[in-house]
Amino acid sequence: MAELAPYAVSEANSRGRNMAEEAPCGRSEFQRDRDRIIHSGAFRRLEYKTQVFVNHEGDLFRTRLTHSIEVAQIARSIARRLRLNEDLVEAISLAHDLGHTPFGHAGQDALNTCMKEYGGFEHNLQSLRVVDLLEERYAAFDGLNLCFETREGILKHCSATNAAKLGELGERFLHNRRPSLEAQIANLADEIAYNNHDVDDGIRSGLIELDQLAAVPLVARHLHEVRAAYPDLPERRVVHETVRRMINTLVSDLIRQSERNISAQGLSTIEDVRNAPVMIAFSAEVIEQQRALKNFLHTHLYRHYRVMRMSSKAQRIISDLFAIFMQDVRLLPPPFQRQTEPERARAVADYIAGMTDRYAIREHRRIFAVEEVLA
Ligand code: MG
C-alpha cells in the first residue's frame, strides 16, 4: 500500500480513545474500530432497516446494511487513490447509519416530532450515541470506545446546542472547522451510493422507468452510450451498466477535483485540513448534475404515492409507540423504564430507534391489536 499523505489521519496523529487501552496487536487502531463496529448489535440490525423500500418488499432492494457496505467500498476506493487512511474511512462508512430509526427518513421525522419537547431526535447524533453509549459489549466501558477520528466522522452535522454538550467532538461546529479528509470522503461516498442505488432500486420497484431518467443529464449521457454500444442488451443489464458508469464518473470526478483542491491549498498536516475549507468535493459541473438527479428522485421516487403510503404508516407506528410508552412506563422492557419524563422520553427514543422495521411492526401489533390478546 502506498504511504499515507502527510495530511492523512494516522495512528501517530490520532487523538486516541476516551478510555486508554493497550495498543492492538496485528491490526491498526482504525481496523480495531471497524471490527468493533461490525461485531456490534446495531450493525446487525441494519439488515432489517429500510433504506427507501421496507425490507420485506423484496429481497433485492438495498437495506441500511448493504447501503453501508456500498458506502464503505466507494469510500475506500477514493481514500486509496488520495493516499488517505482507508481503515478509517471504512470504519466511518460502516458506522454512519447505526443510529437510523426503522422506516428510513419517515421514521426519523416521526421520532423527531415526538421528541420535540425533549431535545429532538437526529439520526446522525444517534449513531454517535450508539457507539459512545448504547452498545453494551465490553466489560470496561459503555459503547465501543472508538477513536476520536472515527467518532468525528460519524457526526456529520450537529446543531450548536448539541455541539456545546459534546466537548472536543463538538468544537468544530462551534468554531467553523473541518473534520478529517477521511470524514469528508465518507460523507460524499454516502451521497454517491444512495443516488445511484436509488436509481437501480427505483427502477426495479417499477415506481420509476429508465426512459423517464433520460431527462436527467447524468443518466442520459451514460444511457445513450450504453444503448449505442449494445443495442440488443436486455433492459435490466442496461440499468446496471448505466449505473456502473455513473458511479465511475462520480468517483473519478471527486478524486480529480479533490486532488486539485488539496494541491491548490497546499495542505501539509492534519491541522491544515481542519483549518482549510472543505477539500473533498465534486467539480461544479458534477454538483449540478447530481442536483438534477436528486430532484428527480425526490419528485418521482421519494414522493411517489406508494412510498408516501408506506411513510405515513411508518409515522403512525412510531408516534403510537412513543405515545403509549410515555403514557405508561410499565409497558416498556425494564432496561428502558425511567421515572422522570425527559429521561423516559430519551430512553423511549433509544428503544424505538433501535428497532428494525419488522420489530416495530410486531411491537405495534403486540400492543395495539386486540386480536393479538384474544389469539
Ligand atoms: Mg447513509
Closest CA to 163 of 124, 111, 110, 116: 124
Q: What percent of the chain has pLDDT over 70?
A: 98
| Ligand 1 centroid from CA 189, angstroms | 9
| Ligand 1 centroid from CA 67, angstroms | 7
Q: Residue 150: pLDDT band by 50, 70, 90 thresholds?
A: very high
Q: What is the mean pLDDT of residues 137-155?
A: 97
Q: What is the pLDDT of residues 99-108, one digit of tens each?
A: 999 998 899 9
Beta partners for 17?
147
DSSP 132-159: III----SS-SS---BHHHHHHH-----
C-alpha cell at 155: 457526526
Q: Residue 244: pLDDT band by 50, 70, 90 thresholds?
A: very high
| Ligand 1 centroid from CA 53, angstroms | 14
| Ligand 1 centroid from CA 371, angstroms | 37
- Quick one: which H or E segment has residue 246? helix 235-265
| Ligand 1 centroid from CA 103, angstroms | 13
What's the pLDDT at 286? 97
| Ligand 1 centroid from CA 335, angstroms | 29
What's the pLDDT at 375? 53
Task: Please give the Cα distance from 354 to 352 (Å, whole number).
Answer: 5
Range in 12-21, 83-92, 132-141, 363-372 with the lowest mean pLDDT:
363-372
Range in 228-242, 286-300, 343-357, 361-375 with the lowest mean pLDDT:
361-375
CB count within 10 Å of CB 334 equals: 7
What's the pLDDT at 371? 75
| Ligand 1 centroid from CA 329, angstroms | 32
For 114, counting Cβ atoms within 10 Å of its Cβ (0-12 exposed, 13-18 middle, 19+ buried), the class is buried
**To the nearest whole number, what is the mean pLDDT of the chain?**
94
Domain boundaries, the chain: 29-307, 308-374
Any alpha helices (H) in 266-340, and if so which ranges? 270-275, 284-297, 305-327
| Ligand 1 centroid from CA 68, angstroms | 6
Examine the pLDDT at 222 and tell me if it is beyond 60: yes
Q: What is the pLDDT of residues 193-221, one digit of tens each?
A: 999 999 999 999 899 999 899 999 999 99
Q: Are 355 and 53 in contact (CB under 8 A)?
A: no
| Ligand 1 centroid from CA 208, angstroms | 21
What's the pLDDT at 372? 67
Long-range pairs, 115-119, Cβ under 8 A, ≥24: 115/345, 115/346, 115/349, 117/345, 118/341, 118/342, 118/345, 118/346, 118/349, 119/162, 119/342, 119/346
| Ligand 1 centroid from CA 315, angstroms | 20
Examine the pLDDT at 1 and tell me if it is beyond 70: no
Examine the pLDDT at 345 and tell me if it is beyond 80: yes
Q: What is the mean pLDDT of residues 15-42?
A: 96
| Ligand 1 centroid from CA 196, angstroms | 12
Examine the pLDDT at 15 and tell me if it is beyond 80: yes
Q: Assign domain 29-307 to its CATH superfamily.
A: Hypothetical protein af1432 (1.10.3210.10)
Total residues belonging to the chain: 375
What's the pLDDT at 370? 80
| Ligand 1 centroid from CA 227, angstroms | 31
What's the pLDDT at 272? 97
| Ligand 1 centroid from CA 226, angstroms | 28
| Ligand 1 centroid from CA 367, angstroms | 31
Q: What is the pLDDT of residues 31-63, one digit of tens each?
A: 999 999 999 999 999 999 987 776 666 777 889
Task: Please give the Cα distance from 185 to 96 (Å, whole number).
Answer: 12
Range in 83-87, 307-311, 318-322, 359-363 with the lowest mean pLDDT:
307-311
| Ligand 1 centroid from CA 52, angstroms | 11
Q: Enter the pTM of the model.
A: 0.96
Return phi, psi of residue 265, to 5°: -80, -25
Examine the pLDDT at 373 and tell me if it is beyond 70: no
What's the pLDDT at 216? 96
